[in-house]
Amino acid sequence: MRNGLLQPAIATGVTVNLTVLQDTVSNLERICNTPLPFAYQAHLRMSLWLYLLFLPFQIYNAFGYVTIPGTAFASFLLLGFLEIGQEIENPFNYDLNDLDLDHFCLTVQRELHLITAHPCPNPSDFLFSTLNQPFAPSDRRNAKELTDNDSVYRLPDETAVEPGLASLRRTLVKGWKDVDTLTRK
């Protein structure tokens, strides 16, 4: 901004987006570097194994020999949930079930190349075009007619702005004043 390469509004947008990016990266680092506490893992595994060990004794009287396949199926389900939890604890590695971050990064890179492949157009080329109707559908005048229009509403610093913008501002002020007078009746 000091060298005049960025306008203040664009620099503010870049700064805001960089702040959001830093927050996102810190959240991802927190996910990556914060494993489940060992006490939690040990307690969960121990209580699950004890439950599965005593389950057949609790349901044998009701189910008889069906207890064996029922306990095996319940063990498969519950131990599967335990393993799934451990597998997705750190999703940023190169294991089989981890996120494909290389693909995500290449997609972002490809999209950035597509965005930056074309030069930025000069805003004056389309702002002051005869095809631009900035206040449509209520006002069908094009930008050329609006910039040539002399109005009684003038801003104090009209000489400091780019040609054409002052008349657009005058039109906006006129529209605001018209709405203001109509709504006060």
Q: Please give, one letter per residue, the 3-state secondary structure of 127-157.
A: HCCCCCCCCCCCCCCCHHHHHHCCCCCCCCC
Mean pLDDT of 94-116: 89
User: What pLDDT does residue 162 have?
Assistant: 60
User: What pLDDT does residue 164 have?
Assistant: 64
In the chain, the percentage of residues whose pLDDT exceeds 70 is: 87
User: What pLDDT does residue 176 have?
Assistant: 78
pLDDT of 152 > 50? The answer is no
Mean pLDDT of 69-80: 96
Q: What is the mean pLDDT of the chain?
A: 83
Comparing CA positions, the residue from 167, 179, 170 lying closest to residue 127 is 167
Q: Where are the domains of the chain?
A: 8-116, 123-183
Both tokens assigned to 169: 């501002």
Residues 166, 143 contacting (CB under 8 angstroms): no
User: What pLDDT does residue 153 have?
Assistant: 43
Mean pLDDT of 137-162: 63
CA distance 55 to 78: 12
Between 132 and 156, whose confidence is greater?
132
